[in-house]
Amino acid sequence: MKKKFSWGTGVVIAFIIFMGITVTTGIYLMNQDVQLVTDDYYDKEIAYQQHIDNVARTTELSSQEIILFDGRFVIIKMPVEFSGKNISGNIYFYRPSDSKLDIRLLFSPDDKNQQIIPVERLQKGFWRLKLSWTMEGKEYFSERPININ
């Protein structure tokens, strides 16, 4: 005896297949690793106007070539008007493709008003170097992309 395949059975089978695909897709997507640009994205968005002011203050300096890269070293050189002043800040090596590789260092220029950082420890590829510093209560910010080969 042969069973007939009715349209009602087809609808039920189509519904079961649809639900199976939907549930499988949902489970798959929920288990994906989502990396935001930064963990505290919303807090940083609120402070963005201050960042804009810091960048604007930096563009008013006598020298715009603050972060130099020669392939082996990153050289951070402060403009001449910063000579003899108390400067403190942070250097942030940001790796857009993998936040686990990001590195933060203290910025402390030497008596020549510069800091030299070897890049041999860094993985090859694209990096964005972000420098923020304070001098006499004023904050500054400079950024430069670098590609390590």
d(CA 115, CA 27) in angstroms, rounded, equals: 49
3-state class of 67 per DSSP? strand
**How does pLDDT run across 78-137, given as a tens digit for each residue?**
888 888 788 889 999 999 888 888 999 999 888 888 899 998 888 999 999 999 999 888
Element (H, E) at 30: helix 7-30
Strands 67-69 and 73-77: antiparallel
The share of the chain scoring above pLDDT 70, in percent, equals 95
- Angle, CA 136 vertex, CA 131 and CA 142 arms, to 5°: 20
**Residue 36: pLDDT band with limits 50, 70, 90:** low
Q: Is the pTM of this model over 0.75?
A: no
